[in-house]
Amino acid sequence: MKNITIVISIVIALIVGVFAGYSFGKGPNTGAADAKKLQDSVMMMNEQSAAIKKMGEMMKAGGGMMQAMGMKYNDEEAVATGKDLEAVGIKYMGENKDQEG
């Protein structure tokens, strides 16, 4: 009688152990979904970085052209605005370079 109780206890423990191991081992399988979200996020950030770089380059170039036009027509306000625009463009380009590296 004692041996049967021990055998039944061992069988029940094995069944519970196998079920628990399977449940914990299987767990929520979101690895592929998380990897896809991460890949999408990285791609989006790279696209935004490229857009910011292009915007900075355009602002820098526009500021230089505005300064040249202001000097040509002796307009100090246009020269000052061009310098400000160029400075903001350089700032954006520098911030973008810092975030890339």
Residue range 80-98, pLDDT digits in tens: 999 999 998 898 888 777 7
Instruction: Please tell me the predicted confidence (pLDDT) of residue 46.
Output: 87
Instruction: Please tell me the predicted confidence (pLDDT) of residue 21.
Output: 74
Instruction: Please tell me the predicted confidence (pLDDT) of residue 14.
Output: 78
Say how far apart CA 28 and CA 83 lie, in whole Å. 56
Q: pLDDT tens-digit profile of 8-65?
A: 777 787 787 777 777 766 656 667 777 888 888 889 988 888 888 898 899 999 999 9
Instruction: Please tell me the predicted confidence (pLDDT) of residue 78.
Output: 92
> What is the average pLDDT score of the chain?
82
